[in-house]
A and B are shown apart, each in its own frame.
Chain A
Amino acid sequence: MVTARKWQAEGLPHLPPTMLSSPVGQVCDLPRSILPPEAGRNLDRQGAAALSFGPNSAVVIDVGLIPVNPRRRQRGFVLIAMSVTTLLLLAMIGLCFDFGRIYIARNEAQVFTDSAAMTAAAKLDGTPAGVIRAREAVAHSPMRWNLGTEPFTGVVVEFANETVSGETVWERDPKDASALSLARVTAPANGVDIVFLRGIGGPKSFTVPARSVAAVNPVRLIE
């Protein structure tokens, strides 16, 4: 079974000497590089062709059964596809796992600051001792973050007096405690360790701060 196409040997550069000395009709392996550009695309380095030699020239015949399996040309594609898919899968897992923990931490921190701001506001009684009690009550909160495992650290408790003009000056250690009407709690240091997204260039840690403001008389959350 021979295809119709033939190529004159004159057009074939660097024909191996062993091939030239082959008997007419011998089936030989032909490197792709020595075949003319118009040679069948299905011939490849591992392919073979029939050669017939004349007195001064040779004819290369593309043999129908020889074509290399077209899938062979796709070697390496699976590796690339698997690499890309694995990266995407890792990214998906990362999005799910890391973002899930980040959202939980943010929610935990927000509930904590709500509670702490109300606690601090409830302790304010117009005296410096009230300010100290407010700070201590926040410090002794039993609430935890990171799936309920770690205590909140670096919590900042500030106090202010709500002025008529709306200008609020927050102080950690107010000198005049008599007119304090606002308590603000900030939980700034909730750094969630990133597990998966770090592997594809994400940060090592993601901080999810939270802040709440509570007012007195009656004690209520206002922010």
Chain B
Amino acid sequence: MKTIRTKHAGQRGQAMIELAFSAGVMIACLAGTFQFGYTFYVYDELVSAVGNGARYAATRTYRAASPADVEKGKDAIRNLVVYGNSQPAPGAAPVAPNLKPENVQVSWVMSDKAEGAGAPTAVDVSIVKYSVGAMFGSFTIDHRPLAEFPFVGRYAASESEP
């Protein structure tokens, strides 16, 4: 009896090599998808947070009894951007992972005056030096997203922040 060897017997290893290559490409694609998707998600959260913070800043009372009061007001705005609350509870979770108040830049737009020397005309809120850590790398977000709202709140030249 003659036994005929199938012509595919020598191709068993080839399938494994093909799988290794295609799995590498697939995993790279999935990792890239996750990386971009996660970064976009975080950026979208930041856009909303910055917008909310700028709106809050535009309508709150601008207390300018001293430079420390102006800075305290900025801290409240930073807290609102980061935690969604101007006075967050201890241990409150930020809207984006590892986002800290120092990553939020608040600038009062003054018309020909220094900060604290008059009512501001607008407020700029942006994210600075914030790193989005995804699976295989990180993206640094600097000076964006930025939101500028007109100041429509009350100007209290001699009031102090509570």
Count A/B pairs, Cβ under 8 Å. Answer: 103
CB nearest neighbor in A for B58 = A118
The residues in A between 99 and 129 inclusive whose CB is less than 8 angstroms from any CB of B are 100-101, 103-104, 107-108, 110-111, 114-115, 118-119, 122-123
Q: Tell me the A residues contacting B by CB distance below 8 Å.
A: 1, 27, 46-48, 63, 65-66, 68-69, 71-72, 82, 89, 92-93, 96-97, 100-101, 103-104, 107-108, 110-111, 114-115, 118-119, 122-123, 137, 141-144, 147-148, 218-221
Given the interface pairs A69-B6, A89-B26, the reply to whether A97 lies near B47 with Cβ below 8 Å is no
Q: Which residues of A contact B4 (CB under 8 A)?
A: 27, 47-48, 65-66
Query: A211 → chain B, closest Cβ, in Å?
Result: 15
Q: Which residue of B lies closest to A119 (CB)?
A: B150
B114-150 contacts to A, CB under 8 A, are 122, 124, 143-150
With A93-B29, A97-B33 already in contact, the answer to whether A108 and B150 are too (CB < 8 A) is no
| B152 x A118 contact (CB < 8 A) | yes
Report the bound CA distance from A220 to B26 in whole Å: 50
Which residues of chain B come closer than 8 Å to A142, judged between CB atoms?
A: 124, 146, 148
Which residues of A sit under 8 angstroms from B6, Cβ to Cβ?
A: 46, 68-69, 72
Cβ-neighbour of A100 out of B1, B26, B32, B37 (below 8 A): B37
Chain B residues in 8 Å Cβ range of A137: 150
Taking A63-B1, A69-B8, A111-B147 as contacts, is the C-beta distance between A104 and B152 under 8 angstroms? no
Give the residues in chain B near A68, CB-CB below 8 Å. 6
Task: Tell me if A103 and B1 are in contact (CB < 8 A).
Answer: no
Complex Cα distance, B103 from A100, in Å, reads 23
* Residue B113 is within 8 A (CB to CB) of chain A in the complex: no
Against A, the Cβ 8 Å flags (1 = close, 0 = not) of B21-37 are: 01000100110110011
In the complex, chain A residues whose CB is within 8 Å of the CB of B155: none
